[in-house]
Structure 1
Amino acid sequence: MSNFFATLIMLFTSLFGGETGGSQPPENGSGDDVVVEDGNTQDGGATDPAPESGDDSGESGILPGYDQLVFNDEFDGSDLDRNLWCTRYVYGGGPSLQIPDDSCQPVTGAGTLDFLNDERQRYVDYNRSGESMHVVNEGALKLRATATRTNDSYAGYESAMIRSKANFKPDSSNSYFIVARVKLPNVVGTWPAFWINSDLDANGNGAWPPEIDIFEGALNGVEDTATMLHQAGIVKGQQTASGSTEITYQSDDFDATWKNYHSDSGSLRNRWLEVGIEWKAESVCYYVNGDKTMCENYRWVSNQGSSTPNAHILVNLAIGGQWAGRYGVGEEFLEHYSAQEVAEKGLSTSFPTEMAIDYIRVYKNN
């Protein structure tokens, strides 16, 4: 977690009277202690047959035992369904919404924050060229990113995010399978993510952690490459009994030290992937294209162990910062690597770019 984000937490606490937070980049090398218990695979199971990695032809099945579809968006219309989604974080402090929506601001001053950490984008509905940043066509939502914030020497990008109005939390009787089919950009400095985070309660109080990163795709082109996805729950206290990460299963393709899934079949960018979690009251298991990558113990509680509000779903396309933008964003990367080297890495340095979402679905167990 960056010092900048810690400062934001302190600011939100002073504004709303409780802990708050959001997606934070664990710097490669900053990881919590990892407890690995070999052989304990939990109750993950495997999905129905999924498309081969990189196959654009179809969608995988649901996780066995999860056949109650309780939330979904197939993005089959022509506009973002704002009955389902907000387009800013739940926290206040950002500019007024371009498209006002009282249901996205359940507490006065909430629901307008347009960035976290040291990111170099600001989330908008329309960029400064008047272009929509949430484009729905051909059965998919495109979260766009453009280099159009030209009056800011640092945060020169505008981008898009969505946050679900519905929220969820498992208990001893109910668990969830949360899944999305996405296509990620291959532009250096992009940071697409699909994650869940605590909502605010009726008094405007939240907590951070808990947070579960279904995936984070920070692409700095060197340590964090196009063949990797970060998957992990954030542990800063009583999210586990030990107060540290407790991994109970990892596949051969998962690096428990840095909590990264590594594809053995090439780039994970510019092709459809299905990524999801099985989320139980005491654990979470992660999946990529139907393959279980990692399981860990995890409780949806505050650092002190108290109950926290339910989780909303977020998908965002962040730009830059010390993780994704370590070697520059876009053409800045060419200061370190030649155009030929960029091409050999299978990367791009060009904006605009986009993250596509075919669907987001939440299933409940029987």
Structure 2
Amino acid sequence: MHYSLPLALALGLLLVACQSAPSDTSTSAEAMADATPGAAYQLVWSDEFDGEHLDTTKWNYNVGGHGWGNNELQFYTDARPENARLAGGTLRITAIHEPWEGKEFTSARLTTKGKADWTYGRFEIRAKLPSGVGTWPAIWLLYTDKEYGNQGWPDNGEIDIMEEVGYDPDVIHSTIHDKAFNHSIGTQVGDTLRIPTARSAFHVYRTDWTPDSIISYIDDQRYFAFGNTGEGWEEWPFDHDHHLLLNVAVGGNWGGQQGVDTTAFPTAMEVDYVRVYQQK
């Protein structure tokens, strides 16, 4: 979710990354891809979004309108049902075109930080995405512990389970960010899969994170794999706690590349469930 690029440039940087990364990166991930589906996992945390109110023993609200490092246009509100509410067994995160605290849009950004943080696991989220040019929904993991380097981003790691931008609808991205592999030095690593019904139907977005690899799936179809090269924290900081985030951004460095269609709002990402498993 942090400092993403336009699609064409991102794809170009992905090619650079694939050419420059050590050859055992993909090899390790491919090997783990065969082993992961057969691993024994148990459910350790979940939210089915039943009931009438968001469970604040599980979720925090990130609040503010400072652009969130990406020049985003929305103000993320605090416990405002217009932006985040439960309805019919789903969580609805709604971006609205309205003036709020000096911003032109409101939305919500939910995080489990400090309430549920994990090192490794299978992260499975069933969701339906919003529509509209200028939308930027994301389901992702961000470092909780500040173990390495600059004590922040990108040195301590980010795992994007699902991102999509409204001007390129139904193209789903999964990406990792760390000191060695990020767009600012031309080495961002990720991949995409087109899901024609991403905005009209629910799909299961999943990432399996182990000590050896990070592998992403949509409806059990694997489309991105990144392996632990064993070359140090610069390439693999993914050995300490991360937390989960769900949000719908508006505009920004990537989401706003082709402007914002204000007539598309309000628009929502609906989340049926979030389930986290760990190996037994």
After TM superposition, is the score higher than 0.5?
yes
**CA positional deviation for 1:227:** 2.7
Partner of 2:108: 160
Aligned-CA RMSD value: 3.2
Structure 2 residue identity aligned to 1:197: L
Question: Number of paired residues?
Answer: 260
RCO higher in structure (CA 8 A, sep ≥6): 2
Q: 1:169 aligns with which of 105, 119, 122?
A: 119
Q: Trace 1:24-63 onto structure 2 (pairs within 5 A).
A: 24-28=3-7, 29-30=9-10, 31-32=13-14, 33-35=16-18, 41-45=30-34, 63=37
Partner of 2:256: 325
Partner of 2:208: 278
The CA distance in 1 between the partners of 2:2 and 2:212, in whole Å, is: 21
Partner of 2:153: 208
**1:205-251 deviation line (CA, Å, top 9, x unaligned):** 9422211111111122xxxx223011111143289xxx9567xxxxx
**CA positional deviation for 1:85:** 0.6
1:138–1:312 CA distance, 2 compared to 1 (3 A): same
Q: Does 1:260 align with 2:192?
A: yes
Partner of 1:173: none
**CA positional deviation for 1:322:** 3.1
**1:125-166 deviation line (CA, Å, top 9, x unaligned):** 356xxx5321112111001111112674xx410001110121
Partner of 2:169: 226
Larger proportion of helix: 2
SS in 2 for 1:34: helix
Structure 1 residue identity aligned to 2:18: V
Partner of 2:179: 236
The CA distance in 1 between the partners of 2:40 and 2:122, in whole Å, is: 7
Partner of 2:57: 83
Larger proportion of strand: 2
Q: Does 1:289 align with 2:219?
A: yes
The CA distance in 2 between the partners of 1:184 and 1:238, in whole Å, is: 27
Gaps of 5+ in 1: 1-21, 48-62, 96-112, 171-175, 247-255, 332-348
1:139–1:191 CA distance, 2 compared to 1 (3 A): same
Q: Trace 1:140-151 onto structure 2 (pairs within 5 A).
A: 140-149=90-99
Partner of 2:247: 316
Gaps of 5+ in 2: none
1:298–1:317 CA distance, 2 compared to 1 (3 A): farther
Structure 2 residue identity aligned to 1:120: L
Q: Does 1:138 align with 2:66?
A: no
Identical amino acids, percent of aligned pairs: 28
Q: Does 1:190 align with 2:122?
A: no
SS in 2 for 1:148: strand
Structure 2 residue identity aligned to 1:268: A
Q: Does 1:350 align with 2:255?
A: no
The CA distance in 2 between the partners of 1:189 and 1:315, in whole Å, is: 17
Judge conservation of contact 1:235–1:244 (CA < 8 Å) in 2. Answer: no
Structure 2 residue identity aligned to 1:78: E
**CA positional deviation for 1:275:** 0.4
Q: Which stretch shifts more, 282-291 or 266-275?
A: 266-275
1:157–1:66 CA distance, 2 compared to 1 (3 A): farther
Partner of 1:180: 125
Structure 2 residue identity aligned to 1:277: T
The CA distance in 2 between the partners of 1:327 and 1:206, in whole Å, is: 33
